[in-house]
Structure 1
Amino acid sequence: MEDTKIFKALSNQTRVQILDWLKNPEKNFEPQTHSLTTANFEGGVCVASIQKKVDLSQSTVSNFLSMLHKSGLLEAKKIGQWTYYRRNEETIRKLSKWIKEEL
């Protein structure tokens, strides 16, 4: 776990909000037709759906998602022409444990 990348990714309220929304993607986004069972990426949400909810430019949202992905907080999968993101629960558990035990 690279702590500095994670904390930098979490230093923006919109990025934290995206992580929160991805905790319950079925509740927070429209149904994702390409990602769920056919591509074995359940819980994945398309960039366009995230952008629509965030209501920021596509480039800004892509930058935010890239930062969250590079920090390890999100997993990504390209399916056809679309990229889907979901939370990396293992990294989030490790971070939670680290904060509880070390910080």
Structure 2
Amino acid sequence: MTDTATANATTPDPDVVDALRALANPMRLQMLLWLRDPIRNFAGMETIADPLEVGVCVSHIQAKAGLAQSTVSAYMAELQRAGLVRATRVGKWTHYKRDEQRIAQFVAALGQTL
């Protein structure tokens, strides 16, 4: 095995590193967990779009988290960059939904990495 091949075999996948970095923050992890069951976790909040199809409005995530809107937006943007959530604009509001396919790929890649 060449030095390059050895380095590639032991270098973590950058996508796995990005996802782990995003999940290292307890509140970002909590938000991702809330989005797993948006009907239950955001019950009683008036929606303008189907939370299962489109996702949860950032204002609802903010209300549940008790954080500033800018902080929640930054946290959700980090999860989006890591490929764990998808954002959809509905009017002037941004909705977030888990990307289950990418999460499954991350879990599989993590299993192979470790």
TM more than 0.5: yes
Once residues 96 and 6 of structure 1 are traced to their aligned partners in structure 2, the CA distance between those partners, rounded to angstroms, is: 10
Question: After the TM superposition, which residues 45-84 of structure 1 pair with which residues of structure 2 at under 5 Å, given as runs?
Answer: 45-84=56-95
Letter in 2 for 1:2: D
Question: After the TM superposition, which residues 1-103 of structure 1 pair with which residues of structure 2 at under 5 Å, given as runs?
Answer: 2-30=15-43, 31=45, 33-36=47-50, 42=53, 44-103=55-114
Once residues 78 and 65 of structure 1 are traced to their aligned partners in structure 2, the CA distance between those partners, rounded to angstroms, is: 13
Alignment root-mean-square deviation, CA: 1.8
Number of equivalenced pairs = 100
Name the % identity. Answer: 38
Letter in 2 for 1:84: H
TM-score, normalised on structure 1? Answer: 0.88
Classify the secondary structure of the residue corresponding to 1:83.
strand
Instruction: Please state how far the C-alpha of 1:43 moved relative to its aligned partner.
Output: 5.3
Q: Given that residues 76 and 83 in structure 1 are in contact (C-alpha distance below 8 angstroms), is that contact kept between their aligned partners in structure 2?
A: yes
Instruction: Please state how far the C-alpha of 1:36 moved relative to its aligned partner.
Output: 1.4
Q: Given that residues 32 and 46 in structure 1 are in contact (C-alpha distance below 8 angstroms), is that contact kept between their aligned partners in structure 2?
A: no
TM-score, normalised on structure 2? Answer: 0.80
Computing the radius of gyration from Cα coordinates, the structure with the larger value is 2
Structure 2 unaligned blocks of 5 or more: 1-13
